[in-house]
Amino acid sequence: MRSQVLHGLNMSSPPLDRDQLRTRLEHMGRTAHADDQGRPTAQPTGFANFDALLPGGGWPVGAITELMPETQGIGELSLLLPALAKLSRAGRYLVWIAPPCLPYPPALAQHGLVLNRVVLVQARDTPSVLWAAEQALRCPAIGAVLAWPAALDDRRVRRLQLAAETGGSCGLLYRPPTAALQPSPAALRLRLKALNAGLHVEIQKARGGRAHALVVYPAAAVCA
Amino acid sequence: MLWLCILLPRFALEASAGAARGPEHPPRPPPAVQAALQNLALWSLQWSGQVSEHAAADGSALLWLEIGASRRLFGDHASLRGCVAAGLIPLGYTHRLGIAPTLQGAALLARAGLATSAVTGTQLLQLLEPLPLALLALPVEQLAALHGAGLRRIGEVLALPAASIAQRFGPDANLYLQRLRGAVHEPLRYVQAPAHFHTRYEFSDPVTDTTALLFPLQRLLAGLQGYLRARERAVQRYTLHLEHRRGAVTRLAVSLTRPSRDAAQLLLLARERLAVTALAAPVHGLGVTASEFLQPLVVQNDLFSRADQQSEQFQQVLDRLGARLGAGAVQAMSSTEEHRPERAWHLHAARLVALTAAAIGPAGGQRDGSERPSRPCWLMSEPRRIDRPQELLAGPERIESGWWDGADVARDYYLAREPNGAQLWVFEDLRGGGWHVHGLWA
């Protein structure tokens, strides 16, 4: 991908001197979000102020993100929807494992998700949830795995982290707010709480970045 | 004709692998050995349409595959020999291979353990010439008689005139030697692929742990793979039969998203299925049946695109999830035009949708609903009764529908906010009265 861009520069732009070229390359390195094999290392969240605070410029790809909402129904899912919509439109599958309620198909379609790329997995107990998440994370055709395990320890998160690295998808784990007290090897950890009309996002940990907090305004709650 | 002989010197003993082995182990009863040999014959049908098998009284077994006609498909006889040998290793049978233009010639070269193949009659005679008499498949008395006549090498026996052999050593010895050199053809019964696949394995000691089923199952599924390849078919479903005492049977269906004939894939799914199965009683026998066959997906490796490969991997993940968690636990979704929120969606077995997904393609996901009222991301399975919410942020949206099918509703929907910030989708029931929460704006 990078070489194509360079090629394009040569064709259409006047020759650059060495410093200009270096500046252009550095700029591309920051924004292309691609690892050595050309896979993106981050999936833009769709919220510019949020992307700006995340090390790769979006949700970590090939890694685990933990979301710890204070309570249900504050926008904890809407935060993901722009990225999920984009992944599904690119033909990647979205696997939801043991969600607490039905992800309502008409609402997902309203947010631009391709429904025939969405797979729901019911799992009775925590080991089944984690097993299913691991299987799904290893598969490169799956763009994002969302899972709601009842209980989790850092050893299990590390296993899922390895699986996500193998498959190159976004692993998104929903955990209770008390999980924030335990350490975790996840690449990104977010505490979420409601704030007036918005969602207060506290970046508790971001691998390669800094802790921060911001408010985003997911579209979901803007009701008729 | 060119024959590949698979000699299985310890077949009767090894057919009961998984159970205790050793000299004290009683020999398998012939029907069980015969069943195992039949299954291995089905396995070898993938290499050749003409397969013949023979179980000997000493516990060894022989399979002959006519490979002259299959050379077109599998390359020369050396590479085919390599394929067969590689396929036998995971099945755990001691084996030796021989290739010759005659059945007895191929068997003799296998017994001799010669890696060299004889493709023509002349090459066969050259290879046989220096070999010792003991390799001939003749009764011990006849070998002794040949030895007593001063003969030491096979070449010396074959140099004698046929009439003289018949006169001095009997017509049976003469017939065998004629067949060995290819002067007389041997009548053969070929293994036929039956219309339905059924194969079974009998345990010498009952099994109480499902992991003990896996090795025999691997062999049975190898038979299924050979059977399917020979018939140019694939399966989307097969059944495991766990046989208990007194004719009781546990049947486990194993389903796939796409037709397959790959034994490794079939085994993987069975393993997931067995991992979550508690045995009701000890297992005395294990069977595999398949009766619905489909066209295999024709995949040419060099044309196998990255997208196809990913789609294939995705199907395999769905299969594994379904095998372990139950087929109903893996679901796809769709939405329909319907006013009543609880009827505006469907969940169905993921396999149906995953298959159509490729046809619909990613263009299916146009952002819609900008002109329609917004819907919450979480829907509750049943509306839950609540007190009248204190803070209503938006609404009402009147939903009135369903009088024609007896499930009529008349509701005013609102967006409500809880003190903790949670945003609920609530409605006031205009028929029955009262407030209910139906969803969450997550």
Dump pLDDT digits (tens) for B197-209.
Answer: 999 998 888 999 9
Q: Which run of H or E residues covers position A129?
A: helix A126-137
Q: Classify the C-alpha dihedral A131-A134-A137-A140 as positive or negative.
A: negative
Entry pTM: 0.70
A61: confidence class by pLDDT, cuts 50, 70, 90: very high
C-alpha torsion B362→B366→B367→B368, nearest 10: -140
Q: How far is B207 from chain A (nearest CA, A)?
A: 26
Which range, of A51-55, A59-63, B67-71, averages the lowest pLDDT?
B67-71
Give me the residues paired with residue B411 across strands.
B399, B429
B283-290/B378-386 β-pairing: unpaired
Rounded distance between C-alpha atoms, residue B234 and residue B261, angstroms? 5
**With a CB-CB cutoff of 8 Å, which residues 98-137 of chain A face chain B?**
99-124, 128, 131-132, 135-136
* Chain B neighbors of A103, CB-CB under 8 A: 333, 377-378
Q: What local confidence, expressed as pLDDT, does residue B360 receive?
A: 39
Rounded distance between C-alpha atoms, residue B280 and residue B338, angstroms? 46
Q: Is the pLDDT of residue A42 over 90?
A: yes
* Chain A neighbors of B333, CB-CB under 8 A: 103, 105, 108, 115, 118, 120
Q: Is the pLDDT of residue A114 over 50?
A: yes
Q: What local confidence, expressed as pLDDT, does residue B359 receive?
A: 38
CA angle A44, A47, A50 (to 5 degrees): 85
Q: Is the pLDDT of residue B174 over 60?
A: yes
CB contact under 8 A, A100 and B378: yes
**In terms of pLDDT, which residue wins out, B125 or A8?**
B125
Q: How far is B408 from chain A (nearest CA, A)?
A: 20
Instruction: Name the residue facing B333 among A115, A138, A221 (closest C-beta).
Output: A115
At B99 the three-state DSSP class reads strand
C-alpha torsion B395→B396→B402→B404, nearest 10: -150
Q: What local confidence, expressed as pLDDT, does residue B197 receive?
A: 95
Q: Is the pLDDT of residue B21 over 70?
A: no
Q: How far is B352 from chain A (nearest CA, A)?
A: 10
Within a 13 Å sphere around the CA of B393, how many CA atoms are in the beta-carbon half? 18
Question: Is A66 within 8 Å of A158 (Cβ atoms)?
Answer: no
A39: confidence class by pLDDT, cuts 50, 70, 90: low
Region B33-57 average pLDDT: 92
**With a CB-CB cutoff of 8 Å, which residues 381-440 of chain B face chain A?**
381, 393-395, 397, 415, 418, 420-424, 439-440
Q: What local confidence, expressed as pLDDT, does residue B58 receive?
A: 86
Q: How far is A22 from chain B (nearest CA, A)?
A: 33
Dump pLDDT digits (tens) for B63-99.
Answer: 999 998 876 666 788 888 998 999 999 898 999 999 9
Q: Is A214 on the interface with B (CB under 8 A)?
A: no
Q: What local confidence, expressed as pLDDT, does residue B26 receive?
A: 57
- Say what percent of chain A tops pLDDT 90: 69
CB contact under 8 A, A193 and B362: no
* Cα Dmax for chain A: 62
B305: confidence class by pLDDT, cuts 50, 70, 90: low
Q: Classify the C-alpha dihedral A175-A179-A184-A187 as positive or negative.
A: positive
Q: Is A75 on the interface with B (CB under 8 A)?
A: yes
**With a CB-CB cutoff of 8 Å, which residues 279-318 of chain B face chain A?**
307, 310-311, 313-314, 317-318
Residue B349: C-alpha distances to residues A89, A147, B255, B353, B384 (Å): 22, 20, 12, 7, 27
Q: What local confidence, expressed as pLDDT, does residue B172 receive?
A: 92
Among B308, B333, B338, the residue to mutate for chain A (most A Cβ within 10 A) = B333
B16: confidence class by pLDDT, cuts 50, 70, 90: confident
DSSP assigned state of B47: T
Region A3-14 average pLDDT: 39
CB contact under 8 A, A118 and B333: yes
Q: How many helices (H) and strands (E) does chain A have?
A: 7, 11
Query: How many CB pairs below 8 A link A and B?
Result: 201
A6: confidence class by pLDDT, cuts 50, 70, 90: very low
Question: Is A50 within 8 Å of A214 (Cβ atoms)?
Answer: yes
Rounded distance between C-alpha atoms, residue A201 and residue B408, angstroms? 42
Question: Is B340 within 8 Å of B409 (Cβ atoms)?
Answer: yes
- φ and ψ of B285, to 5 deg: -145, 155
Nearest-by-CA chain B residue for A140: B310
Dump pLDDT digits (tens) for B345-377.
Answer: 888 877 644 444 443 333 344 444 446 788 999
- Say what percent of chain A tops pLDDT 70: 79
Which range, of A21-30, A37-46, A95-104, B383-392, averages the lowest pLDDT?
A21-30
Q: How far is A17 from chain B (nearest CA, A)?
A: 38
* B175 contact partners, CB below 8 Å, separation of at least 6: B184
